[in-house]
Amino acid sequence: MDLPVFLRLVNTSWKMRLFLLQKLPSAWFMGIGVRHCDESQTTVSLPYGWRSQNPFRSTYFAAQCAAAELSTGLLAMAHLQGKQPVSMLVTHIEAEFLKKADQTLLFTCAEGAELSNAIARTLENGEAQVYRASSVGRLPDGAVAVQVWVTWSFKRKK
């Protein structure tokens, strides 16, 4: 699949929801959705509600990490389109929770160029590359509620 087709699919709400239902049913259940995806950044929404909250009336940390992972992973997948097969795997995740998340969160990863470079190095030399991508979760007023770092490993498939 080439990049424009991939971006059209990801940015079409019902097609992305169907993908999540098939491949990431927990993200589908939590109501995670793609707000915007292009070559440079991806924004993913995580609604606050009974499907994503913990007993303390805030958004469950695992739901926040899932939304952050999707924002970084979709951006990486965009840069894999039309290239040789590359496997991608999360090897580490780290988060800093700064404010109580009791509203819809928007997670944004704006590291498309850096992810593209890591993937290009993998394809050039055949060695696995590791990249630590950052995703910021913001409340509707723009306040940062959470900062998540997802470490991806990219390895060319043989």
Which amino acid makes up residue 155?
A: K
Q: Which of 44, 30, 137, 133 is nearest to 90 (CA)?
A: 133
Which amino acid makes up residue 74?
A: L
Instruction: Show the domains of the chain with their CATH numbers.
Output: 3-156 (3.10.129.10)
Cβ atoms of 38 and 10 closer than 8 Å: no
Average pLDDT over every residue of 38-53: 96
Cβ atoms of 86 and 77 closer than 8 Å: no
Is the model's pLDDT at 80 over the cut of 90?
A: yes
Is the model's pLDDT at 2 over the cut of 90?
A: no
Is the model's pLDDT at 1 over the cut of 90?
A: no
* H-helix segments, the chain: 3-10, 13-23, 25-30, 61-80, 112-125
Is the model's pLDDT at 104 over the cut of 90?
A: yes
Is the model's pLDDT at 45 over the cut of 90?
A: yes
The tens digit of pLDDT for each residue in 13-38 reads 999 999 999 999 999 999 999 999 99
Average pLDDT over every residue of 134-158: 96
